[in-house]
Amino acid sequence: MPDFAQHLDRYVPGRLRELNLPGASIALIENASVVATRHYGYADVARHIAPANDTLYQIASISKSVAAWGVMKLVERGLLDLDAPVQQYLSRWQFPPSEFDANAVTARLLLMHFGGTSLSGCGGTPYDLPWYTVEDILYGRTPPLDDQQLAYAVKWGLDPDSYGKPVRLICPPGSRFEYSGGGFTILELLIEELSGRDFTSFMSEEILRPLGMPESGFELRPEQRQAVAVPYSDTLEAIPLYRTNGKAAGGMYSTIVELARFACAELAGPAGEPPGRGVLSPESVAEMHRPERYAETEMGLDFYTGLGHYVVDMGEVRAIQHTGGNPGWRTVYTVLPREKLGFVCLINSAGGNELWMDLIMQWFNSYLQQ
């Protein structure tokens, strides 16, 4: 791993310039411990501020993997059956009438993106405007996408027509993979209803702080705003900082150090600590990591859905991972449970896909060559 960290120092600065990217933070994990963090470019181009270990990034859809831990916490406490109709737990919202059977929607299917629900992404609101509630999203009371978000949705193949409309069933539950931020917004409401607490507080108190992630969260504290990297478009223009309306779907903020700490917690520790680190049981982590169904092909690899995670088999090596993308942000984390290795990359640009895909394959190949 030291050799690969040195390779990053030689390689990444030039790639940032070639790809017109502002900055990136990277963490390398070996033996379930962070062995290196690296920062390149700028968290704020105009003020020439470099990213650092305490720079906050919006981690976008990696939030779904973290939210899955919250769901499994409810399962461990006996409050939730993953295979029961999710509607039986909800009083603040119900599915609108549909030709499809809403009682077939379970928490397991929602975690796998097999729930049949609409709304691929949840959109965002500038920080100077009021926050929309989870019910606002589910009932379709959020505004249409602004020009910045609309362009992003079209570019990345999201369904712009589903924004600002009620979350509904668009296919029979369990019938096919249908990526859905709306489904994770239902899970966000589920956590609130079953815990009796707001989602942000529950996740902070039950998952993030016990994992040693005090600066991470689904809402920014006022004093944290200055620590957030500036998000940029793929043409290197600074764009507004949006609060993602669906927190569980894509609204979490974290630092490279703390997100790497989360990745380590999904592995057996260097001194024999179990996956879950006592916050969840090893059995719950294993259930999240178990491949349930085929999802899609990316980078020439077949992805299977776990619970809030993707499972990728690369020859004899199994990787657990999730990626994230919101306007101004591109993120990825991946762990190899058997090998206790991991890679985390946070980029403050919507155009960062090519960089992280390049780096993650280089990292994987460097492991194979050892």
The amino acid at residue 253 is Y
Predicted model pTM: 0.95
Residue range 47-79, pLDDT digits in tens: 999 999 999 999 999 999 999 999 999 999 999
Instruction: Judge whether 85 and 103 are in contact, CB under 8 Å.
Output: yes
Residue in 32, 33, 31, 115 with CA at minimum distance from that of residue 71:
115
Residue range 255-266, pLDDT digits in tens: 999 999 999 999
The pLDDT, as a whole number, for residue 159 is: 67
The yes-or-no verdict on residue 332 having pLDDT over 80 is yes
The pLDDT, as a whole number, for residue 192 is: 99
Residues 6+ apart with CB under 8 A from 112: 177, 292, 293, 305, 306, 307
The secondary structure of 130-178 as a DSSP string is PPPPHHHHHTT-SPPP-HHHHHHHHHTT--GGGTTS---B-S-TTSS--
**Assigned CATH for 2-368:** 3.40.710.10
Domain segments of the chain as ranges: 2-368
CA distance 242 to 119: 18
The amino acid at residue 358 is D
Residue 153's pLDDT band, with cuts at 50, 70 and 90, is: low
Cα 86 to the center of its chain, rounded Å: 22
